[in-house]
Amino acid sequence: MAATSKPKRAALYLRVSTDRQTVENQRQALEAVAAHREWEIVTAYSDKGISGAKGRKDRPEFDRMLNDAQRGLFDVIMVFALDRIGRSLGDLLKTIEHLKECRVDLFIVKFRGDGETLDTTTAGGKLLFHITGAFAEFERDMIVQRVNAGLDRARAKGVTLGRPRIDKKVEEAIRKALAKGDKGKHKLAAEFGVGSGTVARIKAALAARKD
C-alpha cells in the first residue's frame, strides 16, 4: 500500500491598514481555500493598523514570517490579496525570491483584478511569476532608458543639470558670515534663504582652502 503524502503546511499572512478594520474576512477566505486544497494551517501572522506602504522592518509580523520561512516552519504562505503583502510588484518579486531561497511557496487568492490567483505550488503559477518578473524588469529598464534619453536631450539644448548655483554675492556673504563663526549653518541658511546643504558645501570649501 502506497504511503499517503503529508499535507502542505500553510501559514496565513493577514494585514489591515487601520485598527478599526478586522482580519477575520481574510482569515475565513484563506481557511476555506486551505480546506479545499487539504493544506494544514500551522500558524498565522497578523499586522493590524499598518499601511501597505510600510517596508518589511515596519511590519513586525511580516518580518517574523519571512524569518520563520528560513527556519522551514511551513511550506506555503497564503495571502488574500496582492496589496496585503507588498507595496508594489517590485516588493512582491523580492518577497517571492526570498521565499524561493527558503523553498517556500506563495499563494495569493486575488493576484489580479480579474480574480486570477497566484499559486507557485503549481507549474502554471511558477510560469506566471517568471513572466510577471520579466515584465517588471523590462519596465524598469524602459524607465531608465527614458530618463537617460531625457537627460541627453536636456544637455543637447544646453540645459545645466543639477542644483542651480547660488548668486556669487550671496555665496561671498555666506563665506564672511562663516568666517566670523558666531552662527550655525541652519541659522545662516535661513538668513540667506538657501539650503543648509549649500552652507555646508561652502564651509567645506573654506576648510579645504585652509588645509
Give me the DSSP letters along the chain: -PPPPPPPEEEEEEEESSTTS-SHHHHHHHHHHHHHHTPEEEEEEEEES--TTS-GGG-HHHHHHHHHHHTT--SEEEEEEHHHH-SSHHHHHHHHHHHHHTT-EEEEEESSTT---EETTSHHHHHHHHHHHHHHHHHHHHHHHHHHHHHHHHHHTTPPPSSPPPPHHHHHHHHHHHHHT-S-HHHHHHHHTS-HHHHHHHHHHHHHHH-
Q: What is the C-alpha to C-alpha distance for residues 158 and 146, in angstroms, rounded to an integer?
A: 19
Q: What is the C-alpha to C-alpha distance for residues 84 and 186, in angstroms, rounded to an integer?
A: 41
Residue numbers annotated as active site: 17
> Cα 102 from chain centroid?
20
Set of cell numbers at residue 171:
555665496
